[in-house]
Chain A
Amino acid sequence: MSLLVALSGETGDAGLLADARAVAGAAGWPLRAVHVSDPAAPGRPPSFGAVDLDGIELVKTEGALVAEIVRLASEGTGAVAFGARTTPAPGLGGVALALLGALDVPMLVVRPGARPVGRLRRLVVPLEGSPSVSVAMQHADDAFCARGREIVMLHVVTSDSPTEPGSLPAPRLVDQEHYEWASWQEEFAMRFSQCVEGGRHRVCVRVGDPAKAIIREVRELDAELVVVSWRGSMAEDRAPVVRALLEDSPCPVYLVPAS
């Protein structure tokens, strides 16, 4: 794995690169930076003066921005980091949306104003309790599980239950609380994580609107990263939790394609 950070040559690059550096460092990945100039859309010349590129190769290339990053990502890059500039109106910026729609690799999305990752000590992995979306947990374990780091497996109870075989939502039957919750937590942790890298896994249960519950939890825990799986569509009526996280998460969001 490696992390390719897409720099825009604008003011947000410094924060993006710092977060990418922190995430790549935590995962032990090499980091590359790329800037794509689109001849068809000339603008201000890029500026990397405020960006600390120490030790990082910056590839400058020309072409259609999204297509070029997709091309580079397909050349063996493990993940791509980019900024998600929010628009004055609700919603993500066009470039971010386009990248989200085009890339099929993990993405580190940094919203301007999000808390810097700094040192990755705690990450939150929202899990609805179904096998197919637990890929985020597997990815989090593979990339970030390490001694001294806490991974919060956050399960938000909603009015819906996953129907996929192998799902393990919060217990719908609680005969005796003192046994049931301990058993469920143990099984939940084991079912969705078999990591032995020494990270501390903690199962956390919340009730209510998933996006609000996750954001509230991330804020209260001072988590540095949210790792979440998504099914790859940002269509209007899809992925409300991912969309909300990208817009409002207090920390960067690491998206793992569920496929």
Chain B
Amino acid sequence: MMADREDTTLRRAAASGDAFGRDFAVVAVDWKAATADASGGAIGDDLALALGAAGLSSAIERLTALGVDVAVLADEGVAVIDGYLRARPAVEGRLFLLLSRGAEVYVVGPAGPRLLERRQATAEEVAALAAAAEALGGRLAAAAADVTAAPADRRVVALRPGHEAGDVRDGRGVEPRVFGVRGLPGEEQVATLARQLVREAGLPHASVVVWPSRVELGLTDTADSLRHVLSDLVLGRGREPEDLLALVAGAGPMPGRTALDPSVVMPELRRATVMSVGARTDELPPGVRPLGGGADGLLAALEEQIARRGRVAMERFPVPSSDPAWRFVVPGFDPFREREVETWLTIANGATGTRGALEEGSAVSTPATLVAGVFGDGTGEPRFRQPVPAPDWTGLRLKLGDMHLTLSNGEVLDHERVLDMRSGVVYRFWRQRDRAGRTVAVRTARFASLDDRSVMAIRAEAVPEDFGGQLVWQGLVGVSHAGGPTRETTFEALGDTPGFIALSRGRNGGGHALAVATRPAAGSPVARRVQQARDVIGGRLEPGEPATVDRLAAIATARTRTPSPDVARRALARAQELGFDELLARHRAAWEERWRDADLVVEGDDAAQRALRFSIFHLIATGHPTNDRVSIGARGLGGMSYFLHVFWDTEIFLLPFFIYSHPQTARTLLTYRYRNLDGARDKARLMGHRGALFPWESADKGVETTPPYGLGPDGEMIPILSGLMEHHISADVAWAAWEYWKGTGDDGFMADMGVELLLETARFWVSRTSRDADGRRHIRTVVGPDEYHEGVDDNAYTNVLARWNMRRAIEALAWLEGADRRRAKALRERLAVKDRELAQWAQVADALVDGYDPATLVYEQFDGFHEMDDVPVEKLRPRPMAADLLLGREVTLRSKVVKQADVVMLCHVLADEMGKDAVRANYDYYEPITSHGSSLSPAIHAAVAARLGDMQTALEDFAMAAAIDLADNMGNAARGLHMASMGGLWQAAVMGFAGIRRRGEALAVEPALPPSWRRFALPLWFRGARLEIELRRRGRGAKALQRLGITVEHAPARVVLDGKERTLACGRHAFARSGGGPWVKEKR
């Protein structure tokens, strides 16, 4: 029997997976089909029957594990059918036995069959059936003299040729056809007669089935079973009739026999696929397709369905990019570094950030999902706003039998995590041999959708490699390991769909509703375990079979309350409707679009390429393009450190990346500041000033969120003066608004928000200055970017930017008056800006001291800096170093040691206005005394050094900046990423090495590529034009040949080369230069 199967057409088709061409969600198996041989006859041999039933049982168990509902239809009772079949699916609810000609329905689970329904005939019904059968037998016997007609078992009227007793079927169970011959009426007429008689007996709904030589009368029949399948398993479970495959028996090859159980030919099955495994193909009713092969054909059909699902599951598991330049790979597992790894592998989308913790957890894991813009009051002292983390949605535990699979259970054979930066997906590949010696291969893929920012998803797959058995995924929802001001988190059932809703609420703040549910992945051989927890999915797997689940989560947030769980429910329902694969496809497309305008390609320096891609990935992932109620926290969305508070980092370090790669996000970030302008006005007013003083740290309300003190390394209280004194942030915001305007040409932003931002910050600065006896203006008692020196007077960075702020405010207002006089007038009236005040601003700007020495071209960092003690910074410790820790606070305060770029920062920020000689003089003065004790420092030094041609130093600083998050031995990233450093790396590459800087309303290109960078390519948006800039170098030294290609799209672009401005039309432009010579336009 089994050998024959190899030869069947179906078997071959099954192997190729196209016998039916698709999956069926429900399979109905006629027991007669399971007990038919290839010729259509019944298998008479008990052993063969048992073997066939065993094969069928295995196939049924695997199909149900794959999520297919299976119904077995039989005339016999449960003792017979279950006695042969003994199928035990891993879960109850997938296998049904519809027995006794439709009179009984059993559901089968791991413990065996359980009766669901039974149609029990009453004594009256039995008597009525018997009477009708007797009447029918009499009428038929009267019609043909050589036929014996008698009720065989009180409800079956059997007709036999002649008058011999016994079964009329032949050796293979095939019965001769008698209706329509020997004077007997045809089958239709017999059926009509029988129905009339049962009606007369008082059973109007009784069933009548006419076989070749008998008539069955009953309360139910096989058609009832099929109707049950249709109503409960197909339509009742949200499926269509097309999802049903019915495999039925056929009669044998002898002419004149009905080829099919007549009761299956029912109208409701027209849209289903009905296939007969019988040998005959000539007498099949319309809609019934021949399959043949008997029980073997049936098994082959089931195997084909199993194979299709396995193949689909394998094909659909996403894989990361194979390009090493796009793969951020973390091999192995190092418990000491795990928190760094979790941060690196954060998946974020501007709305949420989920740390890359192990799904199953470990002693060193800190899973957390952070949500942008949702804050509450912290509980510790001093109190300040802290983000309310979302519950952890990533928990997925794998159980092998009773044992949880973890990295510490047995031996780790392989473990690797890959951040596919191109598509924003984190993959995990893990092979573990547990203590019982069983090997399991696990892989997961997770992402936070960049397409729908409320959605997060994981697909997880486990494959038993060398054993068969129960594998179960348990989905968990737990509390994030992030602390925070969560007042309470409650969990409730999702609703009709299995899953959870977690509601978190912050103290005096916002909250979120997280809906999460796990499902078997399409085509996966696992099923939900309805009798256990609601998010438990598993099955009995054979070696090599994948157990794959999709876990989808959706979050709804609110800033001042707990959102309705229904919002999250609906978001999850939408995600589930799309499914993991579609969500992933959209997510990938969204990333593709962002990378198109953001990717920096470095050829010749893999480390630089890796650092830049890693930085850009997290910059894109952390910025929200449309939600102007959130900005980017100093440590991004990958860690609770800095509590998602927003500093000047956003405007000075991050915004340039967004201005030139995704202006919409840049505008949104600036709108966040504009929205919080009232908070800045309040702060200025409370400190006795006018205008707007932006908070040093801001959260959701735009008010100062810097704590007044903190705890030092020994738990000692440290006064924090930044909130009181670090005022340059107001000029930084103004600078960012101006840069955005000039870089994008977005006049609408300037008219709506930018001018007001500039005016209010300028007004603050004017009120912040004080006048000395000589009429000069000072800004006293501030903290500049170099925070080692607090409470200083006339910090150069602060004063020069403040002056710049005042002048640009006057300029911006003049622009608005020219562009839209009515709006300008309205704005001036609203802000009460008079001409007299503007004149005062100009005077104050002119009178503001800046510490600049025309003789040396050096800015004194602040008043008295030059007189402070010299400190041999280079002898303290290799940079970067926390010099204040090594020297002590008191020594640092009176020493010429600089924490971070301060005057050098000024040289970078106002590069457009500062001559190269001045930059050189200040860089040379400050570089040796800068400790780079801040992550904000080295990248900016790299950019300035590159501009000056100090390539070795530039590369060292670039590497130092890259190491801030990625070094093996510093551990900086454990609690969050250094977003400013990442933005600084982008600036060092683009503005430093490529030398691309805005000059007025044109882009100056003055590249100084490191020797190892053979090619550097980047896209940019600039004032409505999209540019692809490509720099190539051949050779080294003075005779190196450099090529510059600029492709312009959408609008002409103004570019400055060798100090000369050109307007480049759309299209490709090529230039070349040799050594340090001028750029020469190349002819194509």
Contacts and interface: CB of A to CB of B under 8 A. Distances in A.
A165 B886 contact: no
B578 interface: no
B712 interface: yes
Contact of A178 (B334, B711, B884, B969): B711
Interface string A163-203: 11111111111111111111111110011001000000000
Contacts of B969: 130, 161-167, 169
Contact of A177 (B712, B878, B968): B712
Given A131-B336, A166-B337, A157 B885 contact: yes
Contacts of B933: 172-174
Contacts of B712: 177, 181
A185 to B, nearest CB: 7
A159 B935 contact: no
A210 to B, nearest CB: 14
A92 interface: no
B886 A177 contact: no
Nearest to A167: B969
A220 to B, nearest CB: 12
A205 interface: yes
B934 interface: yes
A64 to B, nearest CB: 41
B625 interface: no
Nearest to B481: A190
Contacts of A194: 363-364
A159 B972 contact: no
A1 interface: no
Contacts of A169: 969-971
B197 interface: no
A185 B975 CA distance: 11
Contacts of A98: none
A157 B888 CA distance: 12
Given A166-B968, A178-B709, A191 B339 contact: yes
Given A173-B882, A207-B885, A191 B336 contact: yes
Contact of B880 (A134, A165, A173, A178): A173
Contact of A173 (B642, B711, B877, B972): B972
Contacts of A180: 641
Interface stretch (B96-104, B714-722, B800-808, B984-992): B714-722
Given A162-B969, A163-B969, A167-B971, A178 B710 contact: yes
B481 to A, nearest CB: 10
Nearest to A194: B363
Given A131-B336, A175-B936, A179-B641, A185 B713 contact: yes
B513 to A, nearest CB: 29
A172 B933 CA distance: 6
Contacts of A171: 882, 970, 972
Interface in B696-747: 707, 709-714, 718, 720, 722
A51 interface: no
Nearest to A163: B969
B843 to A, nearest CB: 36
B968 A165 contact: yes
A161 B877 contact: yes
A175 B634 contact: yes
Nearest to A192: B336
A177 B718 contact: yes
Contacts of A53: none
Contacts of B932: 173
A18 interface: no
B336 A176 contact: no
A70 interface: no
A173 B713 contact: no
A163 B971 CA distance: 11
Nearest to A174: B882
B964 A159 contact: no
Interface string B865-884: 00000000000111011101
Given A166-B334, A172-B880, A204 B714 contact: yes
Interface residues of A, number: 38
Size range of the chain B interface in the assembly: 35 or more
Interface in B961-1000: 964, 968-972, 974-976, 978
Contact of A165 (B337, B647, B711, B720): B337
Interface in B667-723: 707, 709-714, 718, 720, 722
B886 A176 contact: no
Nearest to A182: B711
Interface in B52-81: none
A161 B879 CA distance: 11
A164 B337 CA distance: 11
Nearest to B931: A172
A172 B968 contact: no
A206 to B, nearest CB: 8
A122 B840 CA distance: 65
Contact of B876 (A134, A159, A175, A187): A159
Nearest to A162: B969
Nearest to B363: A194
Nearest to A180: B641
A181 B884 CA distance: 13
Contacts of B971: 166-169, 184, 187, 191
- The CB with the most chain B CB atoms within 10 A, among A157, A161, A164, A191, is that of A191
Contacts of B641: 179-180, 183
A172 B884 CA distance: 10
B885 A170 contact: yes
A196 to B, nearest CB: 9
Contact of B720 (A159, A167, A177, A205): A177
B935 to A, nearest CB: 5
A179 B976 CA distance: 11
B934 A175 contact: yes
A117 to B, nearest CB: 25
Interface in B284-306: none
Contacts of B334: 165-166
A164 B935 CA distance: 21
B934 A174 contact: yes
Contact of B642 (A179, A181, A190): A179
Given A165-B334, A166-B334, A173 B934 contact: yes
Contacts of B877: 159, 161, 172
A85 to B, nearest CB: 36
Nearest to A188: B971
Nearest to B884: A174
B974 A207 contact: no
Interface in A145-169: 157, 159, 161-169
B642 A170 contact: no
A180 to B, nearest CB: 8
B890 to A, nearest CB: 13
A167 B971 CA distance: 7
B713 A190 contact: no
Contacts of A164: 969
Most chain B Cβ neighbours within 10 Å, of A164, A165, A179, A186? A179
Residue among A169, A177, A183 with the highest chain B CB neighbour number at 10 A: A177
A170 B878 contact: no
Interface in B920-948: 932-936
A164 B334 CA distance: 12
Given A166-B971, A177-B718, A191-B339, 8 more contacts: A165-B336, A172-B882, A172-B933, A173-B970, A177-B710, A178-B710, A178-B718, A190-B366
8 contacts: A157-B886, A163-B969, A167-B969, A174-B884, A175-B936, A181-B710, A181-B711, A187-B975
Interface of A: 130-131, 134, 157, 159, 161-187, 190-191, 194, 204-205, 207
Q: Ordered nearest first, which 3 A-B pairs have the shortest CB separation? A: A178-B710, A166-B336, A168-B971
